[in-house]
Structure 1
């Protein structure tokens, strides 16, 4: 602004001077605009290179995605922030200098958009005066998220800025209170007036919001890729552990069925059957708490331990007790149920022990009964001791082992469901073991919320 003033009257600026001023103004405007564009372009390229390095490192890091991300200092340089925080799955991760967790949650709630896209402000105190006291750590924030329980924040501290203005803005207030005849001198009205601005950070650039949005998309893709890999691994491991068909044993007919839960291929059920050197047959059915890779890994270790203990000559009860020690030692925090039995095919003598598993079902030609629950509580809690129960299976008798997926339904007492199973087993038992077992799969009505395993064994022929 060029202001011309003269007490003797208007001072008319010559055309040449006005044209020169116009030319200088336009030229300076273009130069400033070009310089800003060049600077922004350089910053964008640098940030894109940083993003590429971060995502490449994530792809090759075996640690959980968010743990790997928040060990990378480049995350701060990505958008020139002093601190950053991430909240996902109930866990808060931070990097750099940030305020307390309660303040971070407050900022995320105030800055975040409903659709999770990147949003930013350089004046948090303008959203809530309570945030003013944290301006030295977080005067401005950039937010990206996927809902109130999953978000990322980048934070900038306040930058105290001194601004020189041409004229005191309070002059208009003075003029309003004075007589209309009072004149303000231009020399005074345009005198330098200094203002100190506090509580604001450097403003966020549009390209910084774009790079954060790109990071959000990369994280989603990486999480999806890892989930797919984990699912594939767990399914492969589960197929190795859960037999497709029961092995053949002299003197015994064995049939097993496994059904995954609705919409899931990854459950905690498993079963096993094998012979010992003396001809005794070992059978086991178990259920590991949880799903996915962790459940499949626990299955593998418990199944391997069971085989080792039984081949070593342990009784079913001793085997179950050792499995509890194994679970507590190698799988801390994991729990599981298991029922283990041995049967001598020539005599039908059965020895059975259980840890927190549902009671077995004994079906004879004229009746079906639920065997008493035997043994100790769940594996992994370190309490109680297993006991061995004994019984004899005659030709035509059937012993049924199963997991909770067969009988557990929402809104139905477990005892009621087990009684439904017992009643159906006693009235439909026949010579066709396969058809009989398949009929038991749908005995208890309702949606299958968990995976299901049922194993039936029956002595063959007659016994002298």
Structure 2
């Protein structure tokens, strides 16, 4: 699955760690992807975002809403974070997505782009999670998740013009081309493949 997922991050200038953290998990029947932006930057932000990832790792079979509830409890003693969680059912090709805060998420098809999310607040201090978005993914669709350290108008739109790139190439290019040097930034990319697809 080396070409299916891609991730790139950049720490705020001078910081040894990045407050934006993204991870994915591959299971036999579902993929789970998460991207968190800890409030502020530096070690406290990194701690909050990493705590969210650790919590999700312990709840990989839970619903999207249950994952957010668990993360909210886990992050109560941290700065808190904005968070996006995507669950992809490999059998039905159904994407379920929840977003709290300003993580930007789009799904790019052959000739389309759909923006998804978001709820208000931040995880660790109360939030309003609307009903998660659900979307049936076509073979080759790309899910792109970015934190607010990436310019949305140009960086995310550029994804439509780079259909031949691997997920890692796309994540690297978006970060290098459109990340704000005065903020943490992260990009998480997933290209969907139907079971049995060889393309």
Q: 1:319-348 CA distances to partner (integer Å, 9 max, x unpaired)?
A: 1123223322x33xx221110111123442
Q: Is the 8 A contact 2:5 2:188 kept in 1?
A: yes
Does residue 88 of structure 2 align to residue 355 of structure 1?
no
Show CA shifts across 1:85-105 (max 9, x none): xxxxxxxxxxxxxxxxxxxxx
Instruction: Give unpaired runs (5+ residues) of structure 2.
Output: none
Whether the aligned pair in 2 keeps the contact of 1:360 and 1:401 (CA below 8 Å) is yes
Partner of 1:440: 174
Indicate the residue corresponding to 1:280 in structure 2.
30
Task: Give how far 1:443 is off.
Answer: 4.2
In the TM superposition, 1:106-121 aligns within 5 A as none
Match of 2:20 among 269, 288, 291: 269
Are residues 421 and 296 of structure 1, via their aligned partners in 2, closer, same or farther at CA, if it must alter by over 3 Å? closer
1:351 is displaced (CA, Å) by 0.8
Counterparts of 1:300-319 in structure 2, within 5 Å, are: 300-310=50-60, 313-319=61-67
Note the alpha carbon deviations across 1:190-233, whole angstroms, 9 max, x for none: xxxxxxxxxxxxxxxxxxxxxxxxxxxxxxxxxxxxxxxxxxxx
Deviations 1:371-418 (A, max 9, x none): 2x23342112224234311112212210001111112xxxxxxxxxx2
- 8 Å CA contact 2:18, 2:42 repeated in 1: yes
| Aligned partner of residue 8 in structure 2, secondary structure | strand
Match of 1:343 in 2: 88
Per the alignment, residue 258 of structure 1 pairs with 9
Q: 2:182 aligns with which of 428, 431, 449?
A: 449
- Work out whether 1:295 is the aligned partner of 2:52: no
Q: Which structure features the higher share of strand residues?
A: 2
> How many Å separate the matches in 1 of 2:103 and 2:47?
23
Shift of 1:350: 0.9
RMSD, aligned α-carbons? 2.5
> Which protein is richer in helix relative to its size?
1
The higher-RCO structure (CA 8 Å, 6+ apart) is: 2
Q: Residue in 1 aligned with 2:153?
A: 419
Q: Could you tell me how far 1:285 is from its partner in structure 2?
A: 0.5
- Counterpart-to-counterpart distance in 2, 1:335 and 1:342: 22
Which residue does the alignment assign to 1:405? 149
- Between Structure 1 and Structure 2, how many residues are aligned? 196
1:393 aligns with 2:137: yes
Q: What is the rounded CA distance, in whole Å, between the counterparts of 2:41 and 2:59 in structure 1?
A: 26
Q: Provide the secondary structure at the position in 2 that maps to 1:303.
A: helix
Query: CA shift at 1:431, angstroms?
Result: 4.7
Q: In 1, distance between residues paired with 2:182 and 2:54?
A: 27
**Change in 2 beyond 3 A, CA 1:424/1:321:** same
Instruction: Answer whether contact 2:100 2:127 (CA < 8 A) is retained.
Output: no
Contact 1:269 1:288 in 2 (8 A): yes
Q: Secondary structure at the match of 1:379?
A: coil
Report the 3-state secondary structure (helix = DSSP H, G, I; strand = E; otherwise coil) of the residue aligned with 2:49: helix
Shift of 1:365: 1.5
- Residue 230 of structure 1 is matched in structure 2 by none
8 Å Cα contact 1:424-1:443 kept in structure 2: no
| Alpha-carbon contact 1:360-1:402 (below 8 Å) kept | yes
CA–CA distance in 1 between the matches of 2:156 and 2:44? 33
SS of equivalent residue, structure 1 residue 350:
strand
For the pair shown, which has the larger CA radius of gyration, 1 or 2?
A: 1
Of 42, 52, 68, 1:320 maps to 68
Contiguous gaps of at least 5 residues in structure 1: 1-247, 408-417
Q: CA deviation at 1:449?
A: 0.8
